Amino acid sequence: MTAIITASELASDLTRDRPPVLLDVRWQLSLAKAAGAPAFDGRAEYAAGHIPGAVFVDLDRELASEPGANGRHPLPDLAEFGAAMRRAGVSADRPVVVYDGGQGWAAARAWWMLRWTGHPDVRVLDGGLPSWEGELSNEVPEPAEGDFRPVPAPAELLDADGAAALARAGVLLDARAGERYRGEVEPIDRVGGHIPGAVSAPTTENVGPDGRFLPATELRDRFKALGVSGDTEVGVYCGSGVSGAHEVLALAVAGIPAALYVGSWSEWSSDPSRPVAVGADPQ
């Protein structure tokens, strides 16, 4: 089973008697609000046009809880997450396809949440909505209630201590932009830099100019060059557990399992007692 699906494959699957549940998770990290401009409105984008049958999922409200000591996008209450997924029609025995506006980060967060909590068949539309060549709809579907009940897999989740330990014992990848890893700029969090021992691996380098993932062989070569080989234990973090989920997805495309530190830099950097490394050197 693959973690991604092409637009043509999705179009074919949607013609079946029992098509996949389709989730629209349009979201983007925006600093516009801080500058006094309106923030990105994924629900409005959905209302203006979406793949027919898709149900909107709000990343900030349904795939995360309120920002706080655990980061900007901490894990949601699992009972509330499960209820949101059931309202969207998600059932354990029915495939799910997730897409966003093309960046892939938000869709990957939904993919990771569903996979981490036990759904066996979740894929991300490679390239997101821009890759879709079919018609769009502004009709809001009313799916039948699903039966999905989230059961998390602890091995796929890291906390701050686990991330620090993995940076020493395995490979901890930092999915943020290189300048944030090096501490040259930090537009959001308390301080710039990275977790000591983490390796810079911007997730933007996992895709081509069209936003689609590089071939699996190229991804495997990239991660090998970053120190991932054989039975290496791998973890990923980012700013708040969204772009990091996209890197976990890239690793899955390459056939490499990885855990996600959801709190990521927004949680790590909020505690002044935790060490911070700066510069290109992991240490």
Catalytic (active-site) positions: 238
**Residue 245 corresponds to which tokens in the numbers above?**
């989920």
Question: What DSSP element (H or E) covers 125?
Answer: strand 122-125
**Residue 275 corresponds to which tokens in the numbers above?**
């060490």
Determine the angle formed by the axes of helices 243-253 and 105-116, rounding to 10 degrees. 70
Nearest C-alpha neighbor of 242 from the set 203, 212, 198: 203
Residue 71, phi-psi category: left (phi > 0), alpha (psi -120 to 50), beta (remainder): left
Determine the angle formed by the axes of helices 216-225 and 243-253, rounding to 10 degrees. 110
In angstroms, what CA-CA distances link 262 with 72, 161, 206? 9, 12, 20
The widest CA-to-CA distance across the chain, in whole angstroms, is 56
Question: Do β-strands 199-200 and 171-174 pair in parallel, antiparallel, or remain unpaired?
Answer: parallel
CB-CB neighbours of 78 under 10 Å: 14
d(CA 153, CA 62): 19
